[in-house]
Amino acid sequence: MVTEYLLPGSADEAAAQREGAVLMAGGTTVMPAVLDGSLRETRVVGLARAGLDGISRSGGRTIIGACTTLAAASSLGGAVGAAAEAVGGPALRNMATVGGNVVIGGDVACALLALDATVDLGSREVPLADLWRDLGEDIVRSVSFNDDGGVFVRWARRAANSPVVVCVAVAGGRVAVGGVGEHPVRSAGAEAHIDDPEAAGRAAAAEVDPPTDGIASGWYRKRMTEVFVRRALETWHAV
């Protein structure tokens, strides 16, 4: 049961209150756990006033504040914009944040992984691929990536408001696949066959071992990995 809600006025203040608490930005992941009583932590640190929103560009890179909503990020275009636009409906996108999506390894995280994104944690900056191994008590403050545009494709049971089965992002010769594990992964096999979408799809499917859950079977996710890696690369080559 949550007994304390803190609303710090800066990222540094939030970091000082971080230990033993759960962070909440848009609340689309945390609030359901609060309401059903499954949240283990008793303290919540809200980031709404921490000054972590906004989009800027510097040195050929785009920088997105962690509390920037997916609705705002959908205006960027390219893989990131397409991924943000694909998450839920308008109401959810107006609440959910880029930082939250990155931490849970969602669709936008898949696009950012293909764009060779780095994450600012305040005391250090890490490649996005390393974040899920070593987030610890740090706070995601912003994400930056090369302005390579890229392509993002997604497969779900329904066109909108449906959890992802598989998503694929391609940018700068990099291929990222989401929906096949706890977080998106780069596909070395697909990247080795970047000029041959058919071979890349087969290679990507051979690499993954997706889970079976209420959304899709592991077998189906593996099959869709092959299909959507191929489609993403065909689109990328056609751009």
pLDDT at 214 > cutoff 80: yes
pLDDT reported for residue 159:
66
- DSSP output for 172-218: TTEEEEESSSSS-EE-HHHHHTTT-HHHHHHHHHHH--PPP-SS--H
Token pair recorded at residue 162: 């449906």
Among 2.60.120.260, 3.30.465.10, 3.40.50.300, 3.40.440.10, name the CATH number for the domain at 4-146: 3.30.465.10
Percent above pLDDT 90 for the chain: 81
pLDDT reported for residue 41:
87
pLDDT reported for residue 36:
87
CA–CA distance, 185 with 18 (Å, rounded to integer): 28
- Cβ-contact 151, 170 below 8 angstroms: yes
CA distances from 113 to 2, 8, 159, 193 (A): 33, 30, 23, 18
Average of per-residue pLDDT values in the chain: 94
Fold exhibited by the domain 151-238: Enolase-like; domain 1 (3.30.390)
pLDDT in tens, 23-81: 999 999 899 888 888 888 889 999 999 999 999 999 889 999 999 999 999 999 999 99
Tell me the CB-side half-sphere exposure of residue 142, using CA atoms within 13 A.
17
Q: Where does the chain hold its CATH 3.30.390.50 domain(s)?
A: 151-238
CB burial of residue 177 (10 Å; 0-12, 13-18, 19+): buried
Q: Which residues contact 212 (CB under 8 A, 6 or more apart)?
A: 218, 219
Pairing of strands 4-6, 43-46: parallel
CA–CA distance, 209 with 172 (Å, rounded to integer): 25
pLDDT in tens, 100-121: 999 999 999 999 999 999 999 9
pLDDT in tens, 168-202: 999 999 999 999 999 999 999 999 999 999 999 99
Residue type for 210, please?
P
pLDDT reported for residue 160:
65
The end-to-end CA distance of the chain, in Å, is 51
Q: Where does the chain hold its CATH 3.30.465.10 domain(s)?
A: 4-146
Token pair recorded at residue 122: 């305040």
Q: Give 219's pLDDT tier (boundaries 50, 70, 90).
A: very high
